[in-house]
Amino acid sequence: MARVALVLGSGGARGYAHLGAVEELRSRGHEIVAVSGTSMGALVGGLVAAGKDREFADWASTLTGRRVLRLADPTWAGGGAATAERLMTTLDELVGDVMIEDLPIPYTAVATDLVARREVWFQRGPLIPAIRASIAIPGLFTPAVVDGRILVDGGLLNPLPLDPTAAAAADFTVAVSLQGPREPHEPASPARGFSVRRAEWAADLRRRFRRNEGLVAVDEDTDLADVVPIAAPEAPAEIGPDVDVRPDVRTSEVVSLSFDAMQSLITRYRLAALPPDVLVTVPLGAARTLDFHRAEELIELGRQLTKTALDDADR
């Protein structure tokens, strides 16, 4: 049995894979002695530290698209499309009014202070407000206000928070990144392109989304994306009336894809600066950010990927 420091990254619904990673570590007899997480990683990490992750996995496996939408609590004010208050109430009922410093496993939740433009590490205080601050994806969930700070998703600055566990008394560190390439050899270098008239660009974008050419999976199941309006600018007058075409893309998809692109780059830099002993990488194509009704398959994916990563590390 080994003592493991566990680092759980951000990536929305792909974060269910964290639960599978924890299952695999426990099945091998490893003890988790420290946990840090950002966004969904902070949520799962907090439940792991509180000893409630199995109960959460059972509950999450019952979710449907409609139930996810109700838990999100859509709103049209407050700096986001949803408040997630019902989800927080559910988590509060699951773990109770527990303080971070009283958890059996040392825990850190990472959020971003928008005004100060710096990370905030929650290592003391109530658990649920810390999780709420860490999961506030800009544009999707309303920011949290804690101690006068306006806080949003920690993935904005640190999608894979390795630093908080660096001093943990562990035999090795396992990090689970949710920002893996969609394809095994997906290029990361800049692409050369040329500009086109807006009509051609919009038509091509619509075609790619409908055919799902590496951009996003379109699912008919109801989720938060279905209630977020599309905001498209007016076509510039000088281009002409023939190009006033609005691409068939939801605002929530643009936000989540933009966030994924940013986090993927930051994660690569973080890993180069402080590589973990074992890295589990969940590909971006595994699920959309808001696919919270796919718990069972993503938990199993996380378990299989962790099994492979641990086996490779033992060789």
Asked if 271 and 160 touch (Cβ cutoff 8 Å), the reply is yes
Task: Please identify which of the residues 36, 39, 256, 264 carries the catalytic annotation.
Answer: 39
From the candidates 153, 223, 260, 291, which is the catalytic residue? 153
Q: Please, are residues 119 and 131 in contact by the beta-carbon 8 Å criterion? A: no
Under 8 Å between Cβ of 108 and 35? yes
- 39 labelled catalytic: yes
Q: Is 134 a catalytic residue?
A: no
Question: CA-to-CA distance for 125 and 225, rounded, in angstroms?
Answer: 33
Cα(223)–Cα(168) distance, integer angstroms: 38
Helix axes 127-134, 85-95, angle to 10 degrees: 140
> Interhelix angle for 53-60 vs 16-27, to 10°?
130
Q: What positions carry a catalytic annotation?
A: 39, 153
